[in-house]
Amino acid sequence: METNLKGKVALVTGASRGLGFAISLALGRAGADVALTDILVEEQEYDKDELEKYSVLAAHFAEDGAVKTLSGAEQVRSMGSKSCAFKMDVTDRDEVEKVMKSVEAELGSVDILVNNAAVMDNLERFDKQKLELWRRDLGVNLTGAFNCCQAVWPGMVRKRWGRIINISSVAALMGASLQPSYGATKAGLIGFTKSLAVEGGRCGINVNAVCPGFIATESVQLYDEMMTERIKKGTALKRLGRPEEIASVVAFLASEASSYITGAAIPVTGGMDLLNL
């Protein structure tokens, strides 16, 4: 099914690598002009200790050289679409609003918002969980999506057209051992999605969630071989997903081809949620 996004402006959070990067390229390939945003952007200086407090994985990839925010924008431009890249912390409302104004000046008002930015490195038994990390996870994974949605909502209402795609997780459907805050925030995104879908429907704004399973992103590739094999065996398809397989679903939901879908939480898990029910 064709997903023609020509003439639309998309903004993707958490776009420096992994799902966000693949989604940005898929939207650009479908014809959208794309703004890539992330707390990590090439050629910027970072305080490693401060960044590590924010996210262990972000600190790792900042040092590892896996950041592709600017190069992602360059790849989108090579496809014939306009693109720009900005550093943006989704928990900082002032920064979110500033970046949205910059995107509007360069590309136009946002038609498609993909809330992908998240932290998932809070791994600990529940009785050892720290309140400050619980609050951090709520701030990034849930309040971050709230901040971005509020920033683009008025423009979508004026146009009477919009697409918001929230990247949830299979953890929202099944729970997540040693990750209560991750599971809770990703489940919260589904409730948030459904509530916005009810309100946005009368304004032509479709709001959906995608619930990926284990996808072969840079983060998942850090798992040891034994863990990876166990995950594969827990899926009906006996393999990890590819970032492009999530990106294609997002591109579909961003297009007119999905015009009668709203308030949905779509599992893209290779059947992982089926075998564990």
pLDDT tens digits, 50-79: 777 778 777 777 777 789 999 999 999 999
pLDDT for the residue numbered 276: 57
pTM here is 0.94
pLDDT for the residue numbered 53: 72
The whole-angstrom separation of Cα 193 and Cα 207 is 6
- Of 54, 182, 223, 260, which residue is the catalytic one? 182
The CATH architecture one would assign to domain 9-275 is 3-Layer(aba) Sandwich (3.40)
- Using CA atoms of 135, 139, 143, 147 in order, give the dihedral in degrees to the nearest 10: 150
Return per-residue pLDDT of the chain as tens, 277 residues: 567 999 999 999 999 999 999 999 999 999 999 999 999 999 777 777 777 777 877 777 777 778 999 999 999 999 999 999 999 999 999 999 999 999 999 999 999 999 999 998 888 999 999 999 999 999 999 999 999 999 999 999 999 999 999 999 999 999 988 999 999 999 999 999 999 999 999 999 999 999 999 998 877 777 778 889 999 999 999 999 999 999 999 999 999 999 999 999 999 999 998 875 4
pLDDT for the residue numbered 2: 63
223 included as an active-site residue: no
Q: Count the neighbouring beta carbons within 10 Å of the beta carbon of residue 66.
A: 15
| Sequence ranges of the domains in the chain | 9-275
pLDDT for the residue numbered 33: 98
